[in-house]
Amino acid sequence: MNVDKETLLLIFVACTGAAVLMQAFVLLGMLFALRKAIKVAQVQMEQLSTDVFPLVKDTRELLTRVGPKIESVATDVAVLVNRVREQSTKVEASAGDILDRVYKQTSRVDMMLTHALDTVDRAGAVVAEVISVPLRQLAGFAAFARAALGTFRSGPPQPQTEPRPTHSAADKDLFV
């Protein structure tokens, strides 16, 4: 086989042409697939934009309407917190003053009641002493009168025939 250069060159050009043609078909298939994918992506983007953009628009409108109100509320809350702090400081100071006054008054009332109870105790002791001495004397006189009357009523003493025992028979084991 004697192949000359021209034949070889013609075979080489034919193979190269076939490869280029095959590459063109592959690129053309890729182009059609890419166009189809772009169309699907566009449809999805349109659907997404029809769903999301109204939501974004409504949210933006809501924020533009509510934004100043939120700022106003935040300012009012800050003012309220400052006032509550001021009032709590005043209440704390007032409570401290009231507690000091209550402490002083309770100390004063305690001293007054202690003094009054001491006075009542002393007066009770004096009254008991003043009354008990004459009552003891009166009781002594009454005992004397009873003994005297008892003696006068009973008559002369009778002699005892039997001596009285000074202890009981049950006391024999007891030692004092």
Residue 173 has pLDDT above 70, yes or no: no
pLDDT digits (tens, 9 = 90+) for 88-114: 999 999 999 999 999 999 999 999 999
- Rounded Cα distance between 114 and 120, Å, is 10
pLDDT digits (tens, 9 = 90+) for 39-82: 999 999 998 888 888 888 888 888 888 888 888 989 999 999 99
pLDDT digits (tens, 9 = 90+) for 139-148: 888 888 888 8
The DSSP string of 55-83 is HHHHHHHHHHHHHHHHHHHHHHHHHHHHH
Distances (CA, A) of 95 to 89, 90, 164: 10, 8, 83
Q: What is the mean pLDDT of residues 136-161?
A: 78
Q: Is residue 103 part of a domain?
A: yes
Q: Is residue 36 part of a domain?
A: yes
Give the total number of structural domains in the chain. Answer: 1
The residue range of the domain holding 13 is: 5-109
